[in-house]
A and B are shown apart, each in its own frame.
Chain A
Amino acid sequence: MSPEGPRLSADRLLGVALIVIAGLTLWSAQSLVVAFAADPLGPKGFPSAVATILAVCGALLLFGRGLPFAWPERRAAPFLLLVVMAAYALLLEPLGFLLATAGLALGVALLFGARLWMALLTSAATSAALWALFDKLLDLPLPKGILGA
């Protein structure tokens, strides 16, 4: 048991985050305006109670020692993946499903260490297969984007 001071630990950060979320919830719940009391409890009671429990859990984590804070071993990859996914969400409608999905699959495949030409091949196939499945087979229209104009 090595003595440890109140230094930055991942668990303590989590504790703080939970308390902040609980605080925001309580604040948001208190600001609800109800036209008339349709039921004895109202819309505030239950979320307030849950948020209070959440805050207590957060406080308990503050007191524990917890896990040390650690960076991922491949720091760039998860963040690049997030960028690829966010780009997909934003470009899906303007670019259309086929192009955007191929781009997403290509990006993810490369991040998983695929060779470029193999990744190109599989991402094109993935995109086309999903288009056929959703748009054609299930009859759920997907955006055509620049290909359909």
Chain B
Amino acid sequence: MYRRALLAASALLPAAAQAQNAGGFTPQNPECIAGAAPGGGFDISCRLTARMLNETGIVGPSIRTQNMPGGIGAVAINHINAQRRTDPNVIVAVSTGSWVNMATGRFGRFGENDVRWIGAIGADYGVIAVKKDSPYATLTDLVTALRANPGGVPMGAGGAVGSQDWTKAALVARAAGVDPRRMRYVPFEGGGQALAALLGGHIQMAPVDASEARGQFEAGEIRLLAVLAAERLPGTLSSVPTAKEQGFDAEWPIVRGFYGPPQMPDAAYNFWVNALRRLTAHPDWPDQRAAQGLFEFNLVGAEYEALAKRRTAEFRQLARDVGLVSQ
């Protein structure tokens, strides 16, 4: 009963919240487009973030999630650019995986300049996992082995060559001075199957995501040689050193966030940027973010835009280097 009263009280908040938002913009029938079917990563982002934005009263009108699966957001960006270029009421879930596809031209004609980058809500990080009885105890061991014989360390993760999963492996190879084309990368259907293959001894290294590997790590089934983050991760993962600490410049946050249509009016854009800023500062947010398997990564507006553009440019360079896209 008490909880219900709280919920009812929070339902009254929106009016005040909007006044604070100023700019005179109030979304009408706002929508969050998820470039995945219900159950996919984008879908979870949309549904949980929308629920939280509504529950905290940051956004008054109920945000509905619309699913538009296909090409890690390719279908969604085409829809936005073709039909809703000025729509102030729609935001689209996006991740590093989409940036990778933008860079390799998989989004059709559209790229990082065809949307308005609103903000990030959190990030997962790439980790380098080996089995508990692996001969590699540190990232240096692994890199030495890779240098001696680039094809000698079979590795696998949950995505195709050229996907964001593959990029984690490629970055480690590059940091080792090894041509990513020569490493032996085996794609699996999702990180879970890659971990199964690691436990089964079929592959020797799995560059997966921290949230996927945590359970195995805590149980001592796998060792994590490095986390591809700028700083060590909190909690039980704090014992895992970063790649940088070990002298390798490999950083790979899988950032989740949202963008708006390319000609979203400024008032609306500012409203949504502000909404994400207030959401990520909300005291309940850390728990909600952890529920999505994400670590803190708060970046909105212009800074987020800069990151999105920098990352796509970096990846485009990597893709060109290995010949995934033509010059």
Q: Which residues of A contact B (CB under 8 A)?
A: 35-36, 38-39, 139-141
Contact = CB atoms under 8 A, between A and B. Distances in A.
Interface of B: 31, 38, 64-67, 161-162, 181, 185-186, 322-324
Nearest to B83: A93
B28 to A, nearest CB: 12
A9 to B, nearest CB: 40
B161 A140 contact: no
A35 B64 contact: no
B324 A140 contact: no
A140 B39 CA distance: 13
Nearest to B185: A38
B45 to A, nearest CB: 16
A36 B319 CA distance: 11
A36 B323 contact: yes
A35 B322 contact: yes
Contacts of A141: 31, 64-66
B181 A36 contact: yes
Contacts of B38: 140
B202 to A, nearest CB: 14
Given A36-B181, A36-B322, 12 more contacts: A35-B323, A35-B324, A38-B161, A38-B181, A38-B185, A39-B186, A139-B64, A139-B65, A140-B67, A141-B31, A141-B65, A141-B66
Nearest to A142: B66
A143 to B, nearest CB: 10
A141 B322 CA distance: 42
Interface of chain A, main secondary structure:
loop
Nearest to B324: A35
A139 B67 CA distance: 11
Contacts of B161: 38
Contacts of B324: 35
A38 B186 CA distance: 8
Contacts of A39: 186
Nearest to B183: A38
A38 to B, nearest CB: 5
A38, A39, A141, most chain B CB atoms within 10 A = A38
13 contacts: A35-B181, A35-B322, A35-B324, A36-B181, A36-B322, A36-B323, A38-B181, A38-B185, A140-B38, A141-B31, A141-B64, A141-B65, A141-B66
A148 to B, nearest CB: 9
A36 B179 CA distance: 11
Contacts of B66: 141
A139 to B, nearest CB: 7
Contacts of A36: 181, 322-323
Contacts of A140: 38, 67
Nearest to B31: A141
Nearest to A139: B64
Contacts of A35: 162, 181, 322-324
A45 B161 CA distance: 17
A2 to B, nearest CB: 53
A13 B65 CA distance: 46
A140 B64 CA distance: 8
Contacts of A38: 161, 181, 185
Pick the 7 closest A-B CB pairs, nearest first.
A35-B323, A36-B181, A38-B161, A35-B324, A141-B64, A141-B66, A36-B323
A139 B38 CA distance: 11
A140 B322 CA distance: 41
A139 B65 CA distance: 8
Nearest to B166: A38
Contacts of B162: 35
Contacts of A139: 64-65
Contacts of B181: 35-36, 38
B301 to A, nearest CB: 28
